[in-house]
A and B are shown apart, each in its own frame.
Chain A
Amino acid sequence: METVTKRLYEALFLVDSGEAAADWQGINDHIKKVLERNEVEILSMRKWDERPLAYPIAGKKRGTYILVYFNAPSAKITDIERDSQLSERIMRVLILRGDHITPEDMAKDTPAILAEKNIAPPAGPKAELVKELETLAAEDDDEAPLDVDAKLD
């Protein structure tokens, strides 16, 4: 007899911003359908953020990210990925195992929610780390030999 083990996963879906703004419920239902087709038990599904993409994907310059936490049989993950790739409404998907994720992590405010409520991100060890890293970025002198390229542009 085969036993099916379900694990916690974290998935980030990238969809077109225009489409998400026009038909938010529709795109949510679409993602839900893709997941539920594969025996997935959705724990939480929220908008993570709406932001410009670092590079154009499928000709789009802005994207909306949807963060989903779910329990699923591990064998079904490849099916979810394939279904997402075949879907025209989902631009990218990244599914990671979420063994380290606690319910508190799941309930944390996403950047989109923070922006809506107009609250600054909470201070903590992370904020200190960001501050520390600022000095690293300020010292960035890697670009010197590439100045030639800049002139060509």
Chain B
Amino acid sequence: MRGQNFKKKPDKTNRKKKRRDNVREQNQCRFCRSKTRFIDFKDIEILGKMLTHRGKIFSRKRSGNCASCQRKVKLAIKRARFMGLLPFTS
């Protein structure tokens, strides 16, 4: 039992290292790769995934977005929040 529990939750240092490796594999952010020039505030499917369960926007480090795409995402999320499409908090 003990061994299984340990497997499920690897210690934090390992997990962080893995994430950093993932980021390095790509040299472009996911929006640049899909050649999205404009992020629409009505795309709730996409924008909703850029939020934590609490409704906070993922950081650039976390989402892997480039600076310009992160700004576009930020603006779109804030517009969607105003229209009641996405939560400010939950």
Contacts and interface: CB of A to CB of B under 8 A. Distances in A.
Given A126-B46, A128-B34, A129-B36, A136 B58 contact: yes
Contact of A142 (B52, B79, B83, B85): B52
Interface of A: 12, 14, 48, 51, 53-55, 57, 63, 65, 67, 92, 94, 96, 100, 125-126, 128-130, 132-134, 136-137, 139-140, 142-143, 146
B78 to A, nearest CB: 11
Given A126-B43, A143-B54, A14 B36 contact: no
A55 B63 contact: no
Contacts of B86: 54
B82 A136 contact: no
Given A94-B82, A100-B38, A136-B63, A129 B87 contact: no
Nearest to A62: B84
B49 A133 contact: yes
Contacts, number: 72
Nearest to A53: B84
Contacts of A125: 34-36
A94 B68 CA distance: 23
22 contacts: A12-B42, A54-B84, A55-B84, A55-B87, A63-B84, A67-B42, A92-B83, A92-B84, A94-B83, A100-B38, A126-B43, A126-B46, A128-B34, A129-B31, A129-B36, A130-B46, A133-B46, A133-B49, A133-B50, A134-B49, A136-B58, A136-B62
Contacts of B41: 94, 96
| Interface-centre pick from B19, B30, B42, B43 (highest chain A CB count, 10 A) | B42
A68 to B, nearest CB: 13
B59 to A, nearest CB: 10
Interface in B35-57: 35-38, 41-43, 45-46, 49-50, 52-54, 56
A142 B87 CA distance: 16
B34 A129 contact: yes
Nearest to A63: B84
Contacts of A132: 30
Contacts of B83: 12, 14, 65, 92, 94
B74 interface: no
